[in-house]
Amino acid sequence: MPPTQALTVLRLDARDVRVTAQTADGYGSLLARTSEPGNQARAATMKIRAAACWCLVSPPRAPAAFAEARLLYAGLGHPFAIAAAICAGEQESPAAGARQPMAPEDRAYEALWLAWRVASRMTAVDAALAMLARPAHDRDWFPAGQLEVPVRLYLEFASGVALALRSGDSSELARSLPRLLQRGTEPVRMAMADQYRWQALATGVMPVEPELLAIGRIAHRTLAPWDEDTLTDLGIPLGSVERTPLWIARMLEDPPDGTLSAGPEGRPLPSAPGDENAAARVQPRHDVREPPATSE
Separation between Cα atoms, residue 107 and residue 122, nearest integer Å: 20
Please, what is the average pLDDT of the chain? 85
The torsion angles phi and psi of 176, rounded to 5 degrees, stand at: -80, -40
Residue that wins the pLDDT comparison between 287 and 121? 121
CA nearest 160: which of 220, 219, 227? 219
- Domain chopping of the chain, boundaries: 4-281
Read off the pLDDT of residues 46-74 as tens digits, 9 standing for 90 and up.
999 999 999 999 999 999 999 999 999 99
Check residue 94 and give its pLDDT.
80
Close Cβ partners of 281 (under 8 Å, ≥ 6 residues apart): 20, 23, 200, 201, 202
Mapping DSSP to helix (H, G, I), strand (E, B) and coil, where does residue 144 land? Answer: strand
Question: pTM, whole model, 2 decimals?
Answer: 0.85
Check residue 292 and give its pLDDT.
36
CA nearest 176: which of 199, 194, 150, 196? 150
Question: What is the pLDDT confidence band of residue 209, given thresholds at 50, 70 and 90?
Answer: very high
Q: What is the DSSP string of 234-274?
A: HTPPTT-GGGHHHHHHHHHHS-TTS--SS-TTPPPPP----
Check residue 146 and give its pLDDT.
86
Q: Average pLDDT of 33-39?
A: 86
